[in-house]
Amino acid sequence: MSIAAQTLSNDIAELLPPLPNMVGEMARLLGQVPSGCVTTYGALATALGDVKAARWVGHYLLHHAHNELCVCHRVVRAGGALGGYIAGGTKAKIAALGAESVLTDGDRVDLERYEWRRLMGKRPLARLRQAQHNAAEHVTITTPASLPDAVAGVDVSYSADGHGVGVYALTEYPSGKLVWWTSRRLPVTFPYIQSFLTFRELPILLALVDEARQAGKLADALLVDGAGVAHQRQIGLASHFGVVTNLRTIGVTKRLLWGQLATDKKPRCGAIPIMLQDRTIGVALKASRDSEQTLYASPGHLVDVEYARQVTRTLLKGRRLPEPIYWADRLSRMLARGGDPPQTIAALRDSAATKRRRSK
């Protein structure tokens, strides 16, 4: 049985529920807004289960498959500002609303008069949020008995045709030498919504881990391009991934997503602690001694802060990213663009070295 099948058979509904059809749910909600009324991006997001989805609602309404029966003109901003319109801008939106007897004052609608306040949503994002809370309860912060012999990096890039291309890049530790990699290309059905990245990328990461296990290439620890416990709910992509697979994971991000840097503390080996109240939840690291670029590493699952610091620091070899994630990122981008990577590991390393020399 594959690792995905093994883990998904245990409490999977609580940790990784079936992904909702967000486009279908949006269409259902829009269909509830009658002629002569409007709703708001925030109201739709709330009916989807999380007001933070309002940005995605706005993006979707400007990029969806529009037709003459579509009622997306009935969605305005909080406060009544019209916002964008896929079928022609502000004037066209005013005309479409006017045809339904919704009067505008300049570029605004009187929400007290026209807002439809009876949206009945299934709140699919609330179910996903609960799955995050459930997974957070299973995160284990512990000190591994030893440092790894091999570390893999995983990352996902996106192609223009709506597919996600994930790469698992296996490296030796502590050298960071790339020794094996594999990729998976899958359709992406869940959109990018703030704080729900896990549900967009986890299916691809699970497929990668399955392939690595079947090939006998499962690493002792995985570096994930995504947050660990340094996350607003202490359950970033790296942590959720680790819980579902029961693997050691470390989250690495280019931005500080949660917590504060303890700038009053003396850096240990160039690492500044990331604090949440009185707890250390991760570290900030410079990509190299002379670099101004900072990375943020935190435990994902089955590791602690010191392990995350030491492994990440050791695998920083002068590039912007630690070697396992560098290779996963480089290869996934190349494949997503339709490129063909060099056929051998040696040729791939030579190509990267040449590019590095030219950039100096």
Q: Which residues are catalytic?
A: 72
Q: Are strands 249-253 and 221-225 parallel, antiparallel or unpaired?
A: parallel
Residue 141: which of 310, 281, 297 has the closest Cα? 281
Amino acid at 250: I
Tell how far CA 109 is from the center of its chain: 35
SS3 120: coil
The structure tokens listed for 221 are 């620890």
Hey, which residues does 275 pair with through a beta bridge? Answer: 260, 280
**Is residue 294 packed enough to be buried (19+ CB in 10 Å), middle (13-18) or exposed (0-12)?**
middle
Phi, psi of 253 (to 5 degrees): -130, 160
Tell me the angle at which helices 54-63 and 22-30 cross, rounded to the nearest 10 degrees.
80
Phi, psi of 288 (to 5 degrees): -155, 170
The structure tokens listed for 333 are 């981008």
293 contacts 322 by C-beta, under 8 angstroms: no
In the chain, the DSSP E strands lie at: 39-40, 75-76, 104-105, 108-109, 150-158, 163-172, 178-187, 221-225, 249-253, 260-261, 271-276, 279-286, 294-301
Integer Cα distance of 193 and 166 in angstroms: 19
Residues 6+ apart with CB under 8 A from 154: 166, 167, 168, 169, 205, 208, 222, 223, 224, 225, 241, 325, 328
Integer Cα distance of 253 and 212 in angstroms: 23
Q: Are strands 75-76 and 39-40 parallel, antiparallel or unpaired?
A: parallel
The structure tokens listed for 100 are 């339904």
